[in-house]
Structure 1
Amino acid sequence: MTTTLIATPDEPNHDRKPRTIRRRTSGEGTLYQRTDGRWEGATYVPTTDGQTRRIRVYGKTRREAADKLTKKINDHRQKFPLPARDPALGDYLTTWLNHIAVHKVRPNTLARYRACLRLYFPLHLLKKKLRQLTAKDIRLWLDQLRVTCRCCALGTDTTRDPQAADPSQRPRCCALGRCCQRYLSPLTIQYIHAPLRTALEHAVREDDLPRNVARNVQVPVVRQQRTEPFSPAEARTFLDAAQGFRLHALFDLALRTGMRRGELLGLRWSDLDLTGGTLAIRQTLQYVPGTDLVISPTKTPSSERRIALPREAIASLTRHRNQQQANRDAAGHAWADTGLVFTTKTGVPLQPSNVNRDFHQLLRGAGLRKIRFHDLRHSCASLLLDQGVDLIMIKELLGHAHIAITADVYAHVRLRLQRDAIERMSGALDEQPEP
């Protein structure tokens, strides 16, 4: 702060009131008016690589430019240093996928992230500077995806041959002016939004961004499908029909223990103790597009668990081991010694799609309604709940991370049990006392 006394030749300085002139101190930057009439503020701030970078702000008035410059300086003082450079969103996402996400997420999740980046991120969004990206940009992009037919956007129908001998291979919808309205589902929108939100969250942790703008964007709410597990009668029919299949032990374990498909396919003989009647789940086997089959750790730390085997499952696994030994003898040198419990006739790991094919063939042959393979897991939990098994024990068996997950997934089963209990109590209250 500088004080200057202004006086006329005829008056002493002490007879005049002082006028103060505000000067910006070191570190507050500079403000000046440009030739186009706008005001510009500029200052130097450190970057994440230890260097400094000059930043500029603009405003219609001096006050507006000063406020913007002060905000920039305050952001720096609140531990939000600027990145050494301001990359385009596409470059940042590619770097994040190749060097960060590859070490943090499961292979199938990484493959899904890459597919979302390749198929759904528009070029104008990928070219936008990382620090210029706004929540509005993301919201408009997702809104456009929701109302755009994928067949129209990709030109799927236009690639069909109008002269094809097979009528099913000729154009039939968008190319003929009849839009098939193949819109993205709410779950797909969530999948597309997830890698962007996660990548920007990493940028915030690395002090490359002051905040994650993707978190401010609301995505569609996905309504969970009500699972329709097997009834006890359907479960018995399923187990009886499974005895005629080579993978009978796999289907038997899936229903009796609630193991995930990947956990079953990744199961090794060294994880089994048939004498003690226990099984250890330590890894999973999954199909990853572009990589084929990949063995990876369990889905969560809670998924790595040891479970007790029922007598029927032990007997089924014993028969399967004898059958696999016969396949090994028949294959000879062509046998692939992977140590896995469930393999092809030459010891090669099973493709998940082939397991699904055999599963649906089993359902058709048994006259059962079509369900997903994962619904065997839900059937196991539902049957246990029907038998009065404690929810905590079911959580441990299924390997859920939190009991809230178990309670939420099977809330409809618990409600039925509560209704049965209430009706039994009502029956007791309505009983007439004996004379």
Structure 2
Amino acid sequence: MTAPKRKSRANGEGTIYQRKDGRWEAAGYVLAADGTRKRVRVYGTTRREAADKLTEKIANSNRGLPVATADSTLGDYLTYWLNGVAVHRLRENTHVRYAACVRLHLMPGLGTKKVARLTAKDVRTFLDRLRATCQCCTQGLDAERKACCAVGECCQKQLSALTVTYVHSVLKSALEHAVREDELPRNVARNVRATAPRPRRFRPFTATEARQFLDAARADRLHALYALALRTGLRKGELLGLHWEDLDLSNGTASIRRSLQRTRTGGLTHLPTKTLASERRIALPTECIRSLKEHRQQQDKEREIAGSAWRDSGLVFTTPTGRPLDPANLTRRFRSFLDRAGLRRIRFHDLRHSTATLLLEQGVDLVVIKELLGHAHIGVTAGVYAHVRLRLQRDAIDALGHALGGQDDDLDDPPATAVVR
């Protein structure tokens, strides 16, 4: 009996065979992150799936794009991940922060480790060391001025728990991609418990301070922006990215579609909103509709005064010549405004916290606040304002205690069969 003819492989397809566990494995040679050619293995539930995965890697390699492998060092893999994967999925400013995190912390601490041999213990030891190490000493920050650590007087400038958690999250994201590409069986960084950072403390305006803020803002050129920030909780970038076409003042709504931010390569750039949930339509308070109409009249006058120097950007909030407002300049202007108004200094973002806090204190449902703020998940809203909810719970418990502790002989006890729903 003639043996069945084996299916021939296409040129460059590599080796494909079925494993004992039923999965299909494909292997071939690709350009590695260190410039050499290395053999990679990919897996699939079907022959086609394994072949497609390998074909994609070989195609990228033929285009000169290196493919990280499990026997690469973590430094090589992180370089590949940052420049070949994360750059296409992250906003530019986020990618810059990731790159700084890799360069300053992950490369020096774990860069020489082989990806396949990295263990949870390695990650935990690295994070513990990072938490206890003076960054001035590690990065030589005092070398130029010949002070502090450079002269043997360590300042013990250690990273905050929030920064250590951020470094951990970047490493987890990179290794998660290696798992998705079948380079690693599991993400060892996920098995390490990082110390939970203390939530960032903020002191939003009280109701009295908020009224004082709005009163003082009426005399400011950006009174409509300040009122919109406090009354709706819009982010700074969302406010600066608003176009007149986004506003429907007749029906009292605003469509939040984009954010204005300064990036390293593009300067002032319109970007998508922070998350998909941040792209939303909100109702405008009556006071904001009035102030926005006044602001449009003011902008028309500024256009006439500027003449040929006016640059029509279509933005709601601009410089006196129509150009976009720089977020950093708005921050400085906001601080000066608070000083002139005699109000305590808060961050501009704390206006957003003030909105949510004041709404919670007025008994507004958490779901409504989540939709207004554009949070992706209600857990974010609940987590950020947990301290407010706890205080409201305390007030409710105290009110109940006062009611139960009072004496009222005119009230009868409810019947034993009553059902409380």
Counterpart residue type for residue 182 of structure 2: D
Q: How does 1:412-427 map to 2 (within 5 A)?
A: 412-427=387-402
Which residue type is aligned with residue 183 of structure 2? D
Aligned position for 1:128:
113
1:257 aligns with 2:232: yes
Q: Could you say which residue in structure 2 is the equivalent of 1:203? A: 178
Alignment of 1:20-419 (within 5 A): 47-49=26-28, 85=69, 86-123=71-108, 125-160=110-145, 171-419=146-394
Q: Is this contact kept in 1: 2:135–2:159, CA < 8 A?
A: yes
* Counterpart secondary structure, 1:221: coil
Shift of 1:211: 1.7
Give the 3 Å change call, closer, same or farther, for CA 205–48 of structure 1 in structure 2. Answer: farther
Output one character per residue of 1:187-231: Cα deviation in whole Å (capped at 9) or x when no partner: 111222222211111111111222222222332311103432211
Task: Name the CA distance, whole Å, in 1 between partners of 2:68 and 2:353.
Answer: 50
Change (3 A) 1:211 1:272: same
Q: Find the residue that maps to 1:307 and give its secondary structure.
A: strand
Q: Is contact 1:227-1:375 (8 Å) kept? A: yes
Alignment RMSD: 3.0
Give structure 2 stretches of 5+ with no counterpart.
1-17, 31-41, 55-66, 412-421
Displacement after TM superposition at 1:385 (Å): 1.9
Deviations 1:348-379 (A, max 9, x none): 22222211111111222222222221111111
**Separation in 2, partners of 1:405, 1:84:** 34
Moved more, 186-195 or 131-140: 131-140
Number of positions where the alignment pairs a residue of Structure 1 with one of Structure 2: 361
Per the alignment, do residues 426 and 91 of structure 1 end up closer, same or farther by CA in structure 2, a change over 3 Å counting? Answer: closer
DSSP-derived class of the 1:306 partner: strand
Q: How far apart are 1:124 and its partner, in Å?
A: 7.2
Structure 2 distance, partners of 1:113, 1:222, is: 19
Q: Kindly state the Cα deviation for residue 255 of structure 1 after the two structures are TM-superposed.
A: 0.5
Residues 271 and 177 of structure 1: CA distance in aligned 2, closer, same or farther (over 3 Å) = same
The 1-side partners of 2:401 and 2:117 are apart by 65
What is the CA distance between 1:428 and its match in structure 2? 4.3
Q: Quote the Cα distance in structure 1 between the aligned partners of 2:390 and 2:275.
A: 28
Q: Is the 8 Å Cα contact of residues 25 and 44 (structure 2) preserved in structure 1?
A: no
Structure 1 residues 133, 78: closer, same or farther in 2, change over 3 A? farther
Deviation at 1:76, TM superposition (A): 7.3
Letter in 2 for 1:276: N
> What letter is aligned with 2:124?
R
Q: In structure 2, how many angstroms separate the alpha carbons of the residues matched to 1:192 and 1:419? A: 36
8 Å contact kept, 2:367–2:378: yes
How much does 1:411 deviate? 2.5
Give the AA of the match of 2:79. T
Single out whichever of 381-390 and 127-136 deviates more from structure 2. Answer: 127-136
C-alpha separation in 1, matches of 2:385 and 2:68: 50
2:141 partner letter: T
The alignment partner of 1:187 has SS state of helix
Cα distance in structure 2, aligned partners of 1:262 and 1:291: 15
How many Å separate the matches in 2 of 1:239 and 1:175? 49
What secondary structure sits across from 1:121 in the alignment?
Answer: helix
Aligned partners of 1:327 and 1:48: how far apart in 2? 66
User: Which range moved further: 254-263 or 219-228?
Assistant: 219-228
Unaligned runs of 5+ in 1: 1-26, 29-44, 52-74, 161-170
Q: Secondary structure at the match of 1:159?
A: coil
Deviations 1:92-127 (A, max 9, x none): 222222222122222221111111122223357324
Please identify, of 295-304 and 127-136, the stretch whose mean Cα deviation from structure 2 is larger: 127-136
Could you tell me whether the CA contact under 8 Å between 1:48 and 1:207 is conserved in 2?
Answer: no
Give the Cα separation in 2 of the matches to 1:84 and 1:290: 27
CA distance in 1, matches of 2:105, 2:111: 11
Asked if structure 1 preserves the Cα contact closer than 8 Å seen for 2:105 and 2:167, the reply is yes
Q: Which has the larger radius of gyration?
A: 1
Q: Distance in 1 between matches of 2:126 and 2:149?
A: 22
2:68, 2:77 within 8 Å by CA — same for their partners in 1? no
- C-alpha deviation, 1:399, in angstroms: 1.4
State the one-letter code of the partner of 2:363: G
1:49–1:84 contact (8 Å) kept in structure 2: no
> How far, CA to CA, are the matches of 2:367 and 2:110 in structure 1?
46
Counterpart in the other structure of 1:56: none
Q: How much has 1:406 moved relative to structure 2?
A: 2.0
Corresponding residue for residue 60 of structure 1: none
Secondary structure of the 1:296 match is strand
Instruction: Could you list the structure 1 runs, at least 4 aligned residues long, displaced by more than 6 angstroms after superposition.
Output: 75-84
Q: Percent identity?
A: 58
